[in-house]
Amino acid sequence: MKGFFQLISPGELLSLLDRFDPLETGTVALDEGLGRVLATDISAPGPLPPFSRSTMDGYAVRARDTFGCSESEPALLNVTGEIAMGSPGRDIVLQPGQTARIWTGGELPEGGDAVVMVEYSHQLDDRTVEIFRPVAPGENVIRTGEDFGSGEAVLTRGHRLRPQDLGVLAGLGITEIPVFRQPRVAIISTGDELVPPDQEPGPGRIRDINSTTLASLVRETGAIPTCHGIIKDDLETMQAACDRALAESDMVLLSGGSSVGRRDFTLQVLEGIEGGELLAHGVAIRPGKPTILARAGNRAVFGLPGHVASAMVVFYLFVRPLIRRFSGSGTDSGLVRIRAVTGQPIPSAIGREEYVRVSLSRTAEGDPVATPVYGRSGLLRPLVRADGLLVIGRDVEGLDAGSAAPVLLLP
């Protein structure tokens, strides 16, 4: 049981996530759609805008009636009326030489094809206006369907809904939105030494940090965490807890101490899942090597490294992508990746992709500078100081000060 199943690359682990399917779909109301993932392509059920609208305050005209006019030789037009906001502009019909007062957003009258800004007009009396500048057909107008024609593609399946997307759906009258179900993620902490955060730990005991951290990471990714508490270091108890969690969740995260004995326990539990299949045991990254992934049907179980700092790296690299895959969006972390210059040399060993916690500052020119926040993996302090994870490739033997390197920004 000692040693690793087979150390795989981070890319290989990511490609294993393709074996899981996105969850089933349903609908949510418009005001619950933020951050959810579209389950179908959306096309416009009708044109947007639904009618040709003015983008200016002024006069709706037949453009050709203004051709050739100027300050010295204004066009004289008959004002047939005013199109009040929200009233049907199409009820007014412009004959040659006629115009109608219109406001920004108003519907163009029948026969009108452009709008003259009020600044280029002078109303002589109730019935007559002078126009000083010609307009081209379509000028100061958004035409029917110019934004989205009827039936035109608007948003695609798998898109995570942002405020502006919800605005467009509102505009199209789509108020029941087809989305993928949010994944349910169960979190189990293991360890005889652990007590819940609200208890005073006795001698040799410490408070459980991983449950709180992992639940927040899950929530941040848009999934629903359930903490299954602290489970004793006992194979049967762990197995039962894992089975129970798996029955009511899409994913189970098992985390605990980093001792080799406990890792073997976790491995046994994952191997013991009924109908389960061990997909990975050991990844060539640092930190995060002792990562385990198993599958039971379309459900996943991760065995995470015990140190919370390492567990967080594994979460961002692999758990988050799988949550996103379950949610119907791409199998990536969705983290923002920037390039930063290193503020000091950073050593690294060949053979493992390394993720170095860094804090970010800026040069006078505004370019990001990454400074490692070192600390043993059991410590929490470097975590609260870190803004991102600097990535050092597996074939790179450390970075010189001033090198450019990719940094994944922590959300």
- CB count in 10 Å sphere of residue 369: 16
Joined together, the tokens standing for residue 112 give 């009108």
CB-nearer residue toward a second copy: 383 or 396: 383
Measured between alpha carbons, how far is residue 346 from residues 60, 304, 350, 396 in Å?
A: 66, 26, 13, 11
Nearest to 222 by CA among 337, 326, 331, 332: 326
Q: How far is the CB of 322 from a second copy (least distance, A)?
A: 17
CA distance 276 to 52: 59
Q: How far is the CB of 409 from a second copy (least distance, A)?
A: 7
Residues 6+ apart with CB under 8 A from 275: 296, 297
CB-nearer residue toward a second copy: 73 or 91: 91
Write phi, then psi, for 377 (nearest 5 degrees).
Answer: -65, -15
Q: How far is the CB of 276 from a second copy (least distance, A)?
A: 26
CB-nearer residue toward a second copy: 261 or 351: 261
Q: How far is the CB of 161 from a second copy (least distance, A)?
A: 8
Q: How far is the CB of 299 from a second copy (least distance, A)?
A: 23
Q: How far is the CB of 277 from a second copy (least distance, A)?
A: 28
CA distance 287 to 353: 9
CB-nearer residue toward a second copy: 169 or 294: 169
CB-nearer residue toward a second copy: 159 or 243: 159
CB-nearer residue toward a second copy: 147 or 243: 147
Measured between alpha carbons, how far is residue 178 from residues 112, 158, 296, 327 in Å?
A: 39, 11, 27, 12
CA distance 405 to 339: 5
